[in-house]
Amino acid sequence: RPEFALELGQKAMLVTGHSSMRRAGVLDRVVGDLKNNGVDTLVFDKVVPNPRASTMDEGARMARQEGIELVIGLGGGSAMDTAKGIVLASTGTKPIWDYIGTDIKVSGPLLPLILVPTMAATGSEANGGASITKRETREKAYIFTPYMFPKVSIIDPELTLTVPKKQTATGGVDIFCHAVEGYITTQEPSMVNDGIIEAVLRTVVELLPKVLDKLDDIGMRTELSWASTIACSQLIALGGGYGPRTCHSISNFLGGYYDVAHGDCLAAILPVWMRYTLPVRAERFHALG
Amino acid sequence: RPEFALELGQKAMLVTGHSSMRRAGVLDRVVGDLKNNGVDTLVFDKVVPNPRASTMDEGARMARQEGIELVIGLGGGSAMDTAKGIVLASTGTKPIWDYIGTDIKVSGPLLPLILVPTMAATGSEANGGASITKRETREKAYIFTPYMFPKVSIIDPELTLTVPKKQTATGGVDIFCHAVEGYITTQEPSMVNDGIIEAVLRTVVELLPKVLDKLDDIGMRTELSWASTIACSQLIALGGGYGPRTCHSISNFLGGYYDVAHGDCLAAILPVWMRYTLPVRAERFHALG
């Protein structure tokens, strides 16, 4: 890990949340490793679920003021997305919310980004997208741009060993939704791509109940980490064989309005969506088996 | 296509074979497109099956002399591998054969590489490896280095529509071998990775017989192209769940000694290898179903 970092910058901002903080071992080890390899680290630990536009703006301002050369996101989807938002917003002086819905252009240099997921869930480490919530107006949006694509992502399933039961479960639901939504809604299925998505779904369905009984099993945690990363990479939409993510879109409204955690939203939406979608997409449910 | 090229260089060497030449439409179109976009092209059409070290050295010399800024490999595995060898050898003055077996270092700048496969077979477009044959000593070797990784690969299944029946069949065998060899020999199978490999194998097994009866079916050709590209990318060995490629290793000796085409070698080796391997790897054959 530290070797990658030094090539990218000597002054890093480490973006993480309070709950990651509590897993003190990990944070201390990362900061220590970076220091031993010549990288100074500023810890920015203000990340919350449904990550806030205001947090990203604060981080971006600090990154500019402190002359940060490298941004590292360590944690779940919220930490990674906040790190992405900081990278994008720190290229200029306008707030992150202003980038939504526009043809995204940056006016200044882009800080390199390293992402280190500590949960198998959002797969944010494998794409250039981020969720952003504006608490004042109870809105939640999603932006996507190659500017927020990580330079390096370090997927280490050992970091997921201490994720508690409930977050492990909702993380699994998130992975399942990433894979199943487009599978069901696609208008142009592809044989190779169907097989890849089915591999992810089969892994979650078979392993999730087992891992909940044995949270420290590194083998199963590793499989879930791979499933998570693939489910949110471009692989899942190979050749266009992937439709819209309906549950995720609905979830943005719930998350924005009620500030409910992403995985909880999805767990509530998924069964209802399946019943609603079944009659019109019966052949895709059938293909799923 | 041409847009990518101009960003990478204004003077391109297009590496291809005589048989690709004969598909005059494609070559003329590529050269024309490049010209219209401000890229001058030197056509180097000396590629042969079991691509020669001598061809790569000749191309590398020419690239240096002519001030080439960009290398494009257009064709099957031999054309792509020759293009890769030219990129590597053109960084210095030593022959390509001298890079084999050493810790590969380059002494000069690296030309950017674009690969355009015209067959679904070797998957060379998705990795940094190349086969090299030394006819004088009847040796064939394989080298692998990030220096030969393409900047851009353009996988356009339309280019595969005119591949004749026999090459389509042996290309399918090549894809099948890339996927099945490591699947059978791995000591540490992974659930997600098994699923991805099985998706590739299922696609070849189901579609290859059908495409041989209907060579101009773009849907099936597209699926085979995806299967080919994935089967030779790092995806197929996700998390280490992939063993050695025994058939491919044996095939190098046959190809080097008798100059038999790669796909033909594999078609001859595969059934014998399967019978030989079955007793010791029965559980993996069983997993394959």
Average pLDDT over residues A112-141: 95
* Residue B35 phi, psi dihedral angles, 5° rounding: -60, -45
Do residue B195 and residue A194 have CB atoms under 8 angstroms apart?
A: no
pLDDT at B288: 84
Mutate to test the interface with B, among A155, A188, A191 (most CBs of B within 10 A): A191
Q: Please report, in angstroms and rounded to a whole number, the separation of the first and last CA atoms in chain A.
A: 41
pLDDT tens, position by position, B105-122: 898 899 999 999 999 999
What domains are defined for chain B? 2-155 (3.40.50.1970), 159-288 (1.20.1090.10)
Using CB atoms within 10 A of its CB, is residue B198 exposed (0-12), middle (13-18) or buried (19+)?
buried
* Residue A193 phi, psi dihedral angles, 5° rounding: -65, -40
Residues pairing with B113 in the sheet: B71
Q: Which two tokens stand for residue B87?
A: 């990129």
Q: Any chain B CB within 8 A of the CB of A200?
A: yes
Q: In chain B, where does DSSP find H-type helix? A: 2-8, 18-22, 24-36, 53-66, 77-89, 165-185, 191-213, 218-231, 246-258, 262-277, 282-288
Do residue A230 and residue B192 have CB atoms under 8 angstroms apart?
A: yes
Do residue B192 and residue A227 have CB atoms under 8 angstroms apart?
A: yes
Q: Which two tokens stand for residue A100?
A: 């939504």
Option in B192, B222, B235 nearest A200 (CB): B192
Question: Do B200 and B175 form a contact (C-beta atoms < 8 A)?
Answer: yes
For residue A219, CA distances in Å to A23, A160, A210, B235, B237 come to 21, 11, 11, 19, 16
Per-residue confidence at B226, pLDDT binned at 50, 70, 90? very high
Average pLDDT over residues B170-195: 93
Is the model's pLDDT at A101 over the cut of 90?
no
Per-residue confidence at B38, pLDDT binned at 50, 70, 90? very high
Closest residue, chain B, to A188 (C-alpha): B219
Per-residue confidence at B20, pLDDT binned at 50, 70, 90? low
Q: Any chain A CB within 8 A of the CB of B226?
A: yes
Q: What is the rounded distance in angstroms from the CA atom of residue A184 to the CA atom of residue A275?
A: 12
What share of chain B has pLDDT > 90, as a percent? 74
Q: Which of A121, A112, A118, A124 is nearest to A152 (CA)?
A: A112
This model of the complex carries an ipTM of 0.85
Q: Taking CB atoms and an 8 Å cutoff, what residues of chain B touch A287? A: none
Q: What is the rounded distance in angstroms from the CA atom of residue B218 to the CA atom of residue B211?
A: 9
Q: Taking CB atoms and an 8 Å cutoff, what residues of chain A touch B156? A: none
Is the model's pLDDT at A183 over the cut of 80?
yes
pLDDT tens, position by position, A227-259: 999 999 988 887 777 888 999 999 998 999 888
> Could you count the other beta carbons within 10 Å of the beta carbon of residue B110?
16
Q: Taking CB atoms and an 8 Å cutoff, what residues of chain A touch B289? A: none
Average pLDDT over residues A21-39: 85
A135: left (phi over 0), alpha (psi -120 to 50) or beta: alpha
Q: Taking CB atoms and an 8 Å cutoff, what residues of chain B touch A196? A: 195-196, 199
Strand B129-134, strand B139-144: pairing: antiparallel
Closest residue, chain B, to A156 (C-alpha): B239
For residue B10, CA distances in Å to A98, A243, B85 come to 38, 39, 21
Option in B230, B238, B239 nearest A192 (CB): B230
Do residue A238 and residue B223 have CB atoms under 8 angstroms apart?
A: no
Q: Which two tokens stand for residue A143?
A: 């932006």
More confident: A102 or B21:
A102
Greatest CA span in chain A, whole angstroms? 59
Q: Taking CB atoms and an 8 Å cutoff, what residues of chain B touch A230? A: 192, 238
pLDDT tens, position by position, B237-260: 877 778 889 999 999 989 998 889
Is the model's pLDDT at B134 over the cut of 70?
yes
Strand B113-117, strand B70-75: pairing: parallel
